[in-house]
Amino acid sequence: MTRSELVAQIKAKKSFLCVGLDTDITKIPEHLLGEEDPIYTFNKAIIDATEDLCVAYKPNIAFYESYGIKGWQSLQKTWEALPKDCFSIADAKRGDIGNTSKMYATAFFDEKVSGLGFDSITIAPYMGNDSVTPFLEFENKWAIVLALTSNQGSKDFQNFENKENTQLFEYVIDKVNTWGSPENIMYVVGATRGEAFLKIREHAPEHFLLVPGVGAQGGSLQDVCQYGMNKDCGLLVNSTRGIIYASKGKDFAEKAREEAQKLQQEMEQELIKAGII
Using an 8 Å Cβ cutoff, are 48 and 253 in contact? yes
C-alpha torsion sign, points 172, 213, 208, 227: negative
Q: For the residues of 131-182, what is the DSSP string, one character each?
A: GTHHHHTSTT-EEEEEEE--SGGGGGTTT-B-TT--BHHHHHHHHHHTTS-T
Q: For the residues of 62-92, what is the DSSP string, one character each?
A: HHHHTTHHHHHHHHHHHHHHS-TTSEEEEEE
CA distances from 92 to 54, 58, 62, 63, 124 (A): 21, 10, 7, 10, 9
158, 168, 3, 197 alpha-carbon torsion, rounded to 10°: 70
Q: Please list the active-site residues.
A: 93
Using an 8 Å Cβ cutoff, are 75 and 43 in contact? no
Q: Over its length of 277 residues, how does the chain's per-residue pLDDT go in tens digits?
A: 999 999 999 999 999 999 999 999 999 999 999 999 999 999 999 999 999 999 999 999 999 999 999 999 999 999 999 999 999 999 999 999 989 999 999 999 999 999 999 999 999 999 999 999 999 999 999 999 999 987 778 777 777 778 888 888 999 999 999 999 999 999 999 877 677 899 999 999 999 999 997 765 566 899 999 999 999 999 999 999 999 999 999 999 999 999 999 999 999 999 999 999 9
pTM for the whole structure: 0.95
Q: Which amino acid is at 133?
A: T
CA-CA distance, 204 to 185, in Å (whole number)? 10
Q: State the pairing for strand pair 17-21/56-59.
A: parallel
